[in-house]
Amino acid sequence: MSTLDLPGYSHVYSGKVRDLYAPVGADGEVVPDQLLLVASNRLSAYDWMMSPEIPDKGAVLTRLSLWWFDQLSDLVPNHVVSTDVPEAVAGRAVLVRKLDMLKVEAIARAYLTGGGLEEYREKGSVSGVVLPDGLVDGSKLPEPVFTPTTKAPVGEHDLPMSPAQVEAELGAGVAAEVSRLTRAILARGNEIAAERGILIADTKVEFGVSPDGTGGLVLADEVLTPDSSRFWPAELWEPGHPQPSYDKQFVRDWLTSSESGWDRKAGGPPPELPAHVVEQTRAKYVEAYERLTGETF
Ligand SMILES: N#Cc1c(N)ncnc1-c1cnn(CCN2CCOCC2)c1
């Protein structure tokens, strides 16, 4: 993964699909209260980084996240400062307030699948919340459930956190507010997305607080994008089996088809994606953005 040489910025961190830079002042010192959040065109599937990248993915998801921040501004303040960013990352980067980030991945689930379904099948509950009997893969939950995890180091897996662990990490008051806001964000997201034919099964958001201790929780990172959430086409929703992913299904279907020649269980890396899969995947990201926002990419 190559980081960019951005004059006026120093590289801080690279995740699977996004990179973080710190602005550097004329004196060569890092500007202490801002960061540049850059969305790449990288795509991960089945825990592998795909090649080639998906053109415009970073720009589409950045625009979508900015749109959601605006839709949610009555619910929670956010970290966005400006989209006045270096030309090299124009359209796919945001200047943000540097926050003290909470050490909890704030996840809420509106539909049961993935790790939540596994826990439900084992315990009849998820993150301590007892659920009705008879739920299956893709079942809609009576209401969004907060299912927090730790923030594991790169290469390790996030681990489920019990309510007691979250309270120990954040304090009872902040823990309750994080739970409330995370569920409210997903509920609002689904109100809007459902009108556009998209179901958001679950989402991961991140909160921070101002380093000077003033104010309350601030919504950071990205919000309600196909990278942070499971997007499902509403017209294909059918509980009882894995749902098609709005944005990654073309990649998954090709990788698991005989055409790719990839044996996922063998443990080796996946092959290069063919052009038609790359193009179809780009088109799905653009379609999600345009259906949700009503704007043309
Ligand atoms: N958004 C945002 C944001 C913000 N507004 N303020 C401070 N930090 C972050 C941020 C963005 N990504 N990460 C996770 C990656 N960390 C990078 C450092 O090392 C630990 C992992 C933190």
Residue-wise pLDDT tens digits, 89-105: 999 999 999 999 999 99
Nearest CA to ligand 1 atom 18: 13
For residue 269, pLDDT beyond 80: yes
ipTM above 0.90, yes or no: yes
Respond yes or no on whether the N-terminal peptide bond of residue 52 is cis (omega within 30° of 0).
yes
Residue 155: pLDDT band by 50, 70, 90 thresholds? confident
CA of 275 to the centre of ligand 1 (A): 33
CA angle at 285 for the pair 284 and 286, rounded to the nearest 5°: 90
Ligand 1 atom with least separation from CA of 96 = 5
Distance (angstroms) between ligand 1 centre and the Cα of 101 equals 7
Cβ-based burial of 84 (10 A; exposed 0-12, middle 13-18, buried ≥19)? exposed
State residue 30's pLDDT score.
86
Instruction: State mean pLDDT over 100-128.
Output: 97
Mean pLDDT value of segment 66-76: 98
What is the distance between the alpha carbons of residues 164 and 82, in angstroms, rounded to a whole number?
A: 37
Q: Between helices 57-71 and 275-293, what is the axis angle to 10°?
A: 20
Mean pLDDT of the chain: 96
Which numbered atom of ligand 1 lies nearest the CA of 100? 7
Atom of ligand 1 nearest to the CA of 13: 17
Angle of helix 172-194 versus helix 163-170 axis, rounded to 10: 120
Give the closest residue (by CA) to ligand 1 atom 16.
13
Q: Round to whole Å and give the CA distance between 284 and 290.
A: 10
Give nearest CA residue, ligand 1 atom 19: 13
| Strand partners for 231 | 200
Q: 1 falls in which pLDDT band (50, 70, 90)?
A: low
Closest-CA residue to 124 (of 138, 140, 135, 114): 135
Rounded to an integer, what distance in angstroms lies between the CA atom of residue 179 and that of residue 71?
19
Centre a 10 Å sphere on the Cβ of residue 169 and count the other Cβ atoms it contains: 16
Q: How far is Cα 203 from Cα 119, in angstroms, rounded to an integer?
A: 17
Q: What is the mean pLDDT of residues 204-208?
A: 98
Residue range 168-198, pLDDT digits in tens = 999 999 999 999 999 999 999 999 999 999 9
In what helix (H) or strand (E) does residue 277 lie, and over which residues does it extend? Answer: helix 275-293
pLDDT digits (tens, 9 = 90+) for 227-261: 999 999 999 999 999 999 999 999 999 999 999 99
Of 119, 51, 75, 83, nearest to 255 by C-alpha is 51
β-strands 100-101, 93-97 pairing? unpaired
Question: Which helix H or strand E contains 55, and what residues bound it?
Answer: none
The whole-model pTM stands at 0.96
The letter for the amino acid at 257 is S
- 20-34, 86-100, 107-121, 275-289: least confidently modelled range: 20-34
**Atom 12, ligand 1: which residue's CA is nearest?**
221
- Look at strands 93-97 and 34-39 and give their pairing: antiparallel
Enter the tokens of residue 147. Answer: 């299912």
Q: What is the pLDDT of residue 264?
A: 94
Q: How far is the CA of 11 from the centre of ligand 1 (A)?
A: 12
For 213, phi and psi rounded to 5 degrees? 80, 0
Pocket of ligand 1 (CB under 6 A): 13, 20, 35, 37, 79, 96-99, 101, 208, 220-221
For ligand 1, atom 20, name the residue with the nearest CA: 13
Q: Which of 95, 100, 101 to mutate for ligand 1's pocket (most ligand atoms within 8 Å of CB)?
A: 101
CB-based contacts of 186, cutoff 8 Å, min separation 6? 108, 109, 110, 144, 200, 202, 203, 224
Run of H or E including 197: none
Q: Tell me, what amino acid is at 72? A: L
